[in-house]
Amino acid sequence: MTQQRRAILSVMETASKHLDASQILRKAQKLDASVDRSTVYRTLRLLKRHGLIDELDLMHINGEGHYYERKLERDHIHMACLRCGKITEFVSDEFEKLKQQVEKDCRFRVLVSRLEIGGYCAVCRGAQ
């Protein structure tokens, strides 16, 4: 556990929204100016492998990069509005059931899952 990792960890813990690697870098550098881009990537890879963070695309609403968020107790769905860009999260028992079905019917051990939906949010749906 190094200074740099502590800084990155702390950024992830306190983040209020989905951050991409360069945003994480900038925020981590405010805590420890020595943090390097490659350390961020290396640490993110580590955290991902250990199942502590989730990696998201958010339907590529802004470019090709990835977003990261701390993995919480319950998985959630990400919905991205293709019009206004808003990201909504949604927790659903149906989702849990679906994963259980996969485990059972496909005899597949589920470790990570990512459900992203693109479409129109309630507001934009009306405005459209």
Cα atoms in the 13 Å half-sphere on the side-chain side of 75: 20
By residue count, the chain amounts to 128
State the Cα–Cα distance between residues 121 and 118, nearest whole angstrom: 9
22: helix, strand or coil: helix
By CB under 8 A, tell whether 73 contacts its own copies: no
By CB under 7 A, tell whether 25 contacts DNA: no
Q: Which of residues 32-71 bind its own copies (CB under 8 A)?
A: 55, 57, 59-60
- 69 binding partner (options its own copies, DNA, none; Cβ < 5 to 8 Å by kind): none
Q: How far is the CB of 57 from its own copies (least distance, A)?
A: 7
Closest of 25, 55, 57, 53 to residue 38, by C-alpha: 25
- Residues of this chain that interact with its own copies (CB under 8 A) are 55, 57, 59-60, 77, 79, 81-82, 88, 90, 92, 94-95, 97-99, 101-102, 105-122, 125
